[in-house]
Amino acid sequence: MLPNQARTLLLNISSIAQPDATFYGQEYVAPGYSAVTLPSGLQTVRRALFGGDPDMAGLNYTVWQYMRILHSTEFREYVLALDDRITYLNRNSLVDAAYGPTVDPDDGALQFAGTPDLGDASGRLGDRWQITRPTPASVTILNYRLGRQETYFPAFVGGVSDYIPMVGHTTYIVRILEDYAVGTAWQVKYLAETGIDMDIISRAAQLSKIGAEAYVALFPSREPYKLFKELWEHHILLPYKLSGALLALIYQTEEIRVGG
């Protein structure tokens, strides 16, 4: 048994890959937990629930939503049956987190416009760059996630450069004040608010399209999966429907972890 066991199984990220406790939405994962390798059908289920390319921030946000759904009905007993030692219900709402860019050093040199392509169906909420000014005429932007760097030669008019794209996001642009010294480097992080594709209604809609192979993998013909399937297929209230699917994935992951 593990503290926060149901959440840990749903997240399914090894303890050694967890960010530190100050990271967005981070909760306790027991040392020594190793991510469970799931069969293809259950991987399809996870993609529907979490997106095609989620990052850690996106996973934490989505699990934060799902655990509150699971604790909102009487079927939370299945969560507590795994281990009733939980910490994640004490966290402040992630809706109130500080979203948008953070810059180090925050010296006012950078002016941003637009928003990056984040918070969508991919499940990704964050990105990170380094911006440098290697010469008076050039600006270099490195996207750490993509490992891609571009060098631009913007015009400077009235003491400020033209807008240039943040690498990896054509909808997010930046300009630089001309007075800042050559050789200056800025670290930029962006944490996006979630869009409609990451809300629970959209995720439930995606889950309804997973196909027969994934559906059979999620709901084998035995208990407690028959009950979980009944909730997903027949309950009229979304928290109950989603609880059925989430509990099935959690319990399947635990079975594989213990058995394999």
Alpha helix positions (H), 126-187 = none
Q: Of 203, 194, 196, whose CA–CA distance to 239 is shortest?
A: 203
Sheet harboring 169-176: ordered strands across? 110-114, 169-176, 164-166
d(CA 30, CA 113): 41
Q: Are residues 87 and 203 in the same domain?
A: yes
Residues 118 and 187 placed together within one structural domain of the fold: yes
Residues 60 and 176 in one domain: no
The residue segments making up the domain with residue 83 are: 5-95+198-259
- 60 with 27, same domain: the answer is yes
Confidence at residue 150, expressed as pLDDT on a 0 to 100 scale = 98
180 conformational bin, left if phi > 0, alpha if psi -120 to 50, beta if neither: beta
Q: What is the DSSP letter of 236?
A: S
Got the DSSP string for 206-223?
HHTTS-HHHHHHHS-SST
pTM of the predicted model as reported, rounded to 2 decimal places: 0.93
Residue 112 · residue 172 · CB < 8 Å: yes
23 and 85 both lie in a single domain? yes
Beta-carbon neighbour count of residue 209 at 10 Å? 9
Per-residue pLDDT of the chain (260 residues; tens, 9 = 90+): 899 999 999 999 999 999 999 999 999 999 999 999 999 999 999 999 999 999 999 999 999 999 999 999 999 999 999 999 999 987 778 888 889 999 999 999 999 999 999 999 999 999 999 999 999 999 999 999 999 999 999 999 999 999 999 999 999 999 999 888 788 899 999 999 999 999 999 999 999 999 999 999 999 999 999 999 999 999 999 999 999 999 999 999 999 999 85
Q: 3-class SS at 142?
A: strand
Give the model's pLDDT for residue 260. Answer: 58
Residues 33 and 52 in one domain: yes
Whether 107 and 173 map to the same domain: the answer is yes
Note whether 210 and 198 are within 8 A (CB): no
Q: End of a domain among 144, 166, 191?
A: 191
Query: Domain boundary at 191, 220, 251, which?
Result: 191
Assess whether 86 and 106 both reside in one domain.
no
**Number of structural domains the chain divides into:** 2
